[in-house]
Amino acid sequence: MLKGWFRVRAQGKSSFTVLSMMLALVVALSVLPSTALADPAPVSVSVSPNLSTVALETNRGIVTQDKVKVTGLINSNSTIVWSNYGKASAETIPAVGTSFSTISNIYTKNLNYNAFVPAADGDILSIVEVDAQSGEVLGYTNLPVGAIHIGTVAPMVDRNYVFPGIQAGYNQFLQGANFYNTPNGVTLSNFISSDTAIAFASPNGWYFYINGVSSGSASISFDAADNLTGDKIRTTIPVSVVSNRQPYLNDNEEYYFTGKALTLSVNPPTAQWVPDSIEVNGVAVPSESYTYTPGVIGQSDGKIVLQASVLSEGDNKIVVKTYDTIDGVYEITLHQSQHSYYMSEPLIDRASGGLNATVKFVRNIENNSYRDKSTVIFQLMNGDVPVDTVSVTTDRLNGYQTNRVHFNLADAATNPNYSVRAFLITGDNADPGNLGYNLVTEVNATEFEQRYQEWRDWD
């Protein structure tokens, strides 16, 4: 090619001129950098047609809290779209032919499966499209995240539900609310059993049945989708299938307070049944901290008594096991007794010939458990010395109530040392040596009004 070019261009030139031009070209080629003759640099993938429509949902009111939703995804069986979590900067654009396996540690969200991705205002979401057969990257794009894209809807929360054993030949009814706190409702789908010869699921939208086939252990997996946002959680639960039914657990407590032992009644499957171990909130209960007393089959239930020291304020999940298999589960919420009600400061009226005291009570809406018989106690004080006590018992507490008392005192108007203390206790016994549980926390007038409005809005 070079020789031909010189022949054409050299017509009419002297042989000396042609030779000079050839030498000049050789010298020029010899000083070119070696990279000029190397293979071309890898070409980066571009935005493929399937990624040209992707965007972020701007109606953040229906997007799960602290996430963004990717929209405009093309429904295709031949490709899969992946994204990273929101980051401060975009990922490097991958080269054509890049194997997804080399970048799968970066792009961890399968958008075809779940379009909701954790991100923050100012982040960049990087997205790739991958061939489902070859595993090669076909396209790339990125989306800037703004405040208008960040969701505000409360998300589903996994409740860490513990599934007890199920008897072979029987089924167990379960629903999405067993497994998640679902403010928007939930739809369950895509059930898979690890061994259908032991157990399988029969789904129906928001609920399902687990069917026990034969003794053994299996696991059942399913998807839960938030009905409002579409956000999904994948859950796997272990299932134990036993030859005998599980024990029936219940409680006969009058009130659910901390600081006292908890008694569970047990209707066992057989006369020989005995719990091997007990857990509370995932912590094994020492054998000296509980007792089990068998009942008589067909006549009376047995009972498990848990000491107060193994229970805590708030939710308590009690798991009973036999042969290291979950045999029974019972959940109970406990609170401190004094958090049941709020009480106003006693209002004193020093009327002629006596002293009137008025006190108000309003229910704590966060601990709405005690409604039974209680006693209001008014104690008249002269300085630090108790002078008189008046008590009033009510069979059932109201959400809000007012109680008044009158003390006959000739010097009520002239003795400034008189004051009144008020109490609200469980039961009907006002004996100072054998009082029930204190039900109230005394608050000032401003906080009492706030608590009253909370109760009005809640009731």
75: pLDDT strictly greater than 90: no
Quick one: which of 292, 293, 400, 295 has its CA closest to 343? 400
Determine what percent of the chain falls in helix, strand and coil, rounding each to the nearest 5: 15, 45, 40
According to DSSP, the residues that pair with 406 across neighbouring strands are 356
Q: Cα–Cα distance between 159 and 193 in angstroms, integer? A: 21
Q: Where exactly are the structural domains of the chain?
A: 49-149, 157-242, 248-334, 338-458
Query: What pTM does this model have?
Result: 0.60
Distance CA 447, CA 452 (A): 8
- pLDDT tens sequence across 162-206: 888 888 899 999 999 889 988 888 999 999 999 999 999 999 989
SS3 423: strand
Give the full edge-to-edge strand order of the sheet including 232-242. 166-167, 232-242, 216-226, 186-193
Q: State the average pLDDT over residues 360-380.
A: 86
Q: Which two tokens stand for residue 19?
A: 């030779």
pLDDT in the model for residue 233? 87
* The pLDDT of residue 5 is above 90: no
Q: What is the pLDDT of residues 234-288, one digit of tens each?
A: 899 999 888 888 888 998 787 889 999 999 999 988 888 899 999 999 999 999 9
Q: Which whole number is the average pLDDT over 290-314?
A: 92
Return the axis-axis angle of helices 2-9 and 15-30, rounded to nearest 10°: 140
Using the CB atoms, write b or e for 435-449: b if 16+ within 10 Å: ebbbbbebbeeeebe
The model's pLDDT over 34-73, given as tens digits with 9 standing for 90+, comes to: 444 444 556 777 777 789 899 999 877 788 889 999 999 9
The string over 164-192, giving b where at least 16 C-beta atoms fall within 10 Å of a residue's C-beta and e elsewhere, is bbbbbeebbebebeebbebebebbbeeee
Look up tokens 């909701």; give the residue: 116
Strand 79-83 versus strand 124-131 pairing type: antiparallel
Highest CATH level, class, for 248-334: mainly beta
Instruction: Please say if the pLDDT value at position 308 is more than 80.
Output: yes
| Three-state DSSP string of 137-193 | EEEEEEEECCHHHCECECCCEECCCCCCCEECCCEEEEEHHHHEECCCCEEEEEEEE
* Over residues 6-12, mean pLDDT: 33
* 397-451 confidence digits (pLDDT tens): 788 999 999 999 988 888 999 999 999 998 877 666 667 889 999 999 999 999 9
157 pLDDT exceeds 90? Answer: no
pLDDT of 328 higher than 90: no
- Give the integer Cα–Cα distance in Å for 140 and 47: 5
Class (C level, CATH) for 157-242: mainly beta
Predicted local confidence at residue 317, as pLDDT: 93
Kindly tell me if the per-residue pLDDT of 214 is higher than 50: yes
Q: Which residues contact 367 (CB under 8 A, 6 or more apart)?
A: 335, 339, 340
User: Which pLDDT score, from 0 to 100, does residue 77 have?
Assistant: 81
Give me the mean pLDDT over the 218-229 stretch.
92
Q: Which candidate, 110, 117, 131, 105, places its Cα nearest to that of 45?
A: 131
When mean pLDDT is compared across 13-22, 110-119, 228-237, 446-455, the lowest value belongs to 13-22
Residues 182-192 pLDDT 10s:
888 899 999 99
Q: Rounded to whole angstroms, how far apart are CA atoms 224 and 157? A: 11
349: left (phi over 0), alpha (psi -120 to 50) or beta: beta
Domain 248-334 matches domain 338-458 at the CATH topology level: yes
pLDDT of residue 10: 34
- Beta-bridged to residue 112, according to DSSP, are none
Average pLDDT along the chain: 85
CATH topology of domain 338-458: Immunoglobulin-like (2.60.40)
- 348 near 355, Cβ under 8 Å? yes
Share of the chain above pLDDT 90, in %: 54
* Phi-psi map region of 335: left, alpha, beta (phi>0 left; psi -120 to 50 alpha): beta
Residue 284 confidence (pLDDT):
95
The neighbour count for residue 160, using CB atoms within 10 Å, is 10
Which neighbouring-strand residues pair with 55? 71
Q: What is the Cα–Cα distance from 126 to 93, expressed in whole angstroms?
A: 9
pLDDT (0 to 100) of residue 32: 41
pLDDT at 39: 46
